[in-house]
C-alpha cells in the first residue's frame, strides 16, 4: 500500500513538519561529522530529540520545507570546511590574510606622530598644521 503523498494524495502538514525536522537533523549531524569527525556523531537519543525539536520549530513557524539556501550553505561548508585545515590551504590562507592586511593598512594614517619640519618647534607633532 502506498504511503502518504503517493499517487497524488495530499500530505498532511504534520508529516511535512516531521520530515523536514528529520531532514534538518540529519543534515546537521552529517555536517558535524564531516567538519568535526567521529566525536560529532549523534548519541543514541540525539537524533530523535533534534528531529522533534526542529519539527516543533518548523510547525510553530509554518515552515514545511528546508529553504534551498540553507541546503546550499550546508553543502558548501561541508565540502570546504575540512579543506581549510589542510597544510597547503592553511599556508595559502595565511598568505592571503597578510596580503589583505598590507593592502588595507596602506590607506590608513598611522598612529606615529608627524615630524616637525619647522625650526621653532611650534606645532610639533601637530598633523593639522
- CA 72 from chain centre, in angstroms, equals 11
Q: Which residues of 32-41 are buried (b: 16+ CB within 10 A; e: fewer)?
A: eeeeeeeeee
Length of the chain: 129
Inside any domain, residue 58? yes
Q: Which residue has the cell 561529522?
A: 33
Q: Could you list the residue range(s) of the whole structural domain that residue 17 is in? A: 8-103
Long-range Cβ pairs for the range 24-31 (8 Å, 24+): 24/50, 24/51, 24/54, 24/58, 24/66, 25/50, 25/51, 25/53, 25/54, 27/66, 27/71, 27/74, 28/74, 30/78, 31/74, 31/77, 31/78
Confidence of residue 82 (pLDDT cuts 50, 70, 90): confident
Q: List CB contacts of 83: < 8 A, sequence separation 6 or more.
A: 89
Confidence of residue 75 (pLDDT cuts 50, 70, 90): confident
Inside any domain, residue 121? no
Confidence of residue 114 (pLDDT cuts 50, 70, 90): low
Q: What is the pLDDT of residue 1?
A: 47
Q: What is the pLDDT of residue 61?
A: 93
Average pLDDT over residues 105-127: 58
Q: Is the pLDDT of residue 129 over 70?
A: no
As for how many domains the chain has, the answer is: 1
Q: Model's pTM, two decimal places?
A: 0.58
Q: Roughly how many angstroms between the first and final C-alpha of the chain, as a whole number?
A: 88
Q: For residue 116, with 0-12 CB atoms within 10 Å meaning exposed, 13-18 middle and 19 or more buried, which class applies?
A: middle
Q: What is the pLDDT of residue 49?
A: 95
Inside any domain, residue 62? yes
Inside any domain, residue 99? yes
Inside any domain, residue 109? no
Confidence of residue 7 (pLDDT cuts 50, 70, 90): low
Amino acid at each position: 500500500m502506498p504511503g502518504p503523498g503517493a499517487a497524488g494524495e495530499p500530505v498532511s502538514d504534520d508529516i511535512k513538519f516531521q520530515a523536514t525536522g528529520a531532514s534538518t537533523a540529519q543534515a546537521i549531524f552529517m555536517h558535524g561529522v564531516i567538519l568535526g569527525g567521529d566525536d560529532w556523531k549523534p548519541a543514541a537519543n540525539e537524533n530523535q530529540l533534534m528531529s522533534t525539536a526542529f519539527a516543533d520549530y518548523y510547525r510553530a513557524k509554518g515552515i514545511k520545507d528546508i529553504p534551498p539556501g540553507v541546503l546550499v550553505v550546508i553543502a558548501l561548508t561541508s565540502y570546504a570546511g575540512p579543506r581549510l585545515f589542510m597544510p597547503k590551504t592553511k599556508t595559502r590562507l595565511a598568505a592571503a590574510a597578510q596580503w589583505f592586511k598590507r593592502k588595507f593598512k596602506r590607506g590608513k594614517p598611522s598612529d606615529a606622530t608627524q615630524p616637525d619640519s619647522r625650526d621653532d618647534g611650534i606645532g610639533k607633532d601637530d598633523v593639522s598644521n
